[in-house]
Structure 1
Amino acid sequence: MICAAIFDMDGLLVDSEPHWRDAEMEVFRTVGLELTEEMCKRTTGLPIETVVEYWYQRQPWTNRSREEVAHEIHNKAFEYIGLKAGPMPGMVDLLQFFREKSIPMAIASASPMNLIELVIDRLNIREFFVVWHSATLEARNKPHPDVYLGTARKLGVDPACCLAFEDSGNGLKSAHAAGMITVAVPADYEFDDAKFNLATLKVPSLAAFEEPMFLALQAEVDSTPS
């Protein structure tokens, strides 16, 4: 049976990706790099330090350190998300769905713990989760499995009986590498991207996840050799 539901955060529970893109475009402009929203979408789901390195390799700058740029992007994104970010469609209903089934829930995010705490309180969803865990506390961030394996350890459950919800390709790789049953919830602009074929199930939004899907995933977990 499904023993836990584990959720990514940015772009899945909270509509934060537009605010991350705004922060990236604003800060990269200070080093002479004019990014568009489409360009920012190339690195969706990656840790900001990796995003900074990605663009530095393509257009190096000399007026600021990469660490300084990453730190400022984090700070601006925190500010924008704290002031403006709202829930993704269907988020609260899906959390209620799992709570009614008495299935423990957790967050496994690439973002730092202070941003996770900020979002939980902004969306008023702290009551739903027994664990929230940041990949920044692990040796490796997504797409490595560390944060999902660490979350399963904190929950005291077998990763193989966990249901993981992810909106990005790198996050999906992370949950899949941890051996979890995966549900991909891609953004419209990349819904048909082949990278999401890795998922056990793909849905257009959290609002589209329904009881028959849950039962099918439950059956998949039950059929997996222990």
Structure 2
Amino acid sequence: MDGLLIDSEPIWLEAAQHTMRKINFKLTEELKQQTTGLACQLFLEYCHKIQPWDTPTFDEMEAEIISYAHAKILSSATAMPGAIDLVKDLHRRGMPLAVASASHMELIEGVLDRLSLRQYFTTWHSGTLEEFTKPHPAVYLSTALKLGVPPQACLAIEDSHAGLQSARSAGMTTISVPAPEVFHHSKFEIADFKLASLAEFDFASLVEVASNRP
């Protein structure tokens, strides 16, 4: 959802930078690329291994990052290019749609309402409700179960490597839509198909890719 339906990744980065300054932790461009798509708790664990700290606690820092990001996303973030048109087109074609996100349910539902897309989705699910979140496949497996569709019959569209790993591990056909600065990175080549933007999505190509998948 983040960075795919809604242009929220810059806001998450801003929220993380705002909070991490309190422990004099500098978020480099490399670190940003390595942690995009991770749940907040996993992001903090990753940073702690690089530069340990005692206080504030993980829970306190997570709460601050989430509060900052949620407020700004739900008040000012806009849809990613092609996202709204694609959702409406797939819904018109009768395809059941779901959101499987590492974000909290509050944010998922808030984003769907902000973009006026709630009515097009059959269901949505948060990795925060699972014991393990992305890159673990649990959030995708649970979402497929809620949809009533076998994972192997699902198509997952992801902007992050962690999300891509999650969907592939769940056995789904995958489309990767990486950010421009990492589009040519080899780690996204594990996807069945790759797009520069959702505006490039072509239904006929999707059917061909899915039908040729082993």
Are 2:97 and 1:105 equivalent residues in the alignment? yes
- Using the alignment, how far apart are the partners of 1:39 and 1:144 within structure 2? 20
Are 2:50 and 1:67 equivalent residues in the alignment? no
Contact 1:120 1:126 survives alignment (8 Å): yes
Task: Specify which of 70, 81, 97 is matched with residue 78 of structure 1.
Answer: 70
RMSD of the alignment, in Å? 1.4
Q: Deviations over 1:166-216 (max 9, x none)?
A: 000010000001101100000011111111111110010100011331231
Structure 2 partner of 1:155: 147
SS of the aligned residue for 1:18 comes to helix
Please tell me the residue identity of whatever aligns with 1:214: L
Answer with 13-22 or 29-38: which moved more.
Answer: 29-38
Task: Specify which of 7, 10, 13 is matched with residue 18 of structure 1.
Answer: 10
- 1:218 deviation in Å? 4.1
Structure 2 partner of 1:184: 176
Contact 2:156 2:173 survives alignment (8 Å): yes
Structure 2 partner of 1:114: 106
- 1:32 deviation in Å? 1.6
Structure 2 partner of 1:27: 19
Answer with 55-64 or 136-145: which moved more.
Answer: 55-64
- 1:217 deviation in Å? 2.8
Q: Deviations over 1:104-136 (max 9, x none)?
A: 000000111111011111111101101010011
Task: Specify which of 168, 179, 203 is matched with residue 211 of structure 1.
Answer: 203
- State the percentage of identical aligned residues: 46
Q: Deviations over 1:39-69 (max 9, x none)?
A: 4333101111111111112112233112211
Structure 2 gaps of 5+ residues are none
Are 2:49 and 1:57 equivalent residues in the alignment? yes
Structure 1 gaps of 5+ residues are 1-8
SS of the aligned residue for 1:139 comes to coil
Q: Give the TM-score normalised by the residue count of structure 1.
A: 0.90
Are 2:164 and 1:172 equivalent residues in the alignment? yes
Structure 2 partner of 1:127: 119
The higher-RCO structure (CA 8 Å, 6+ apart) is 1
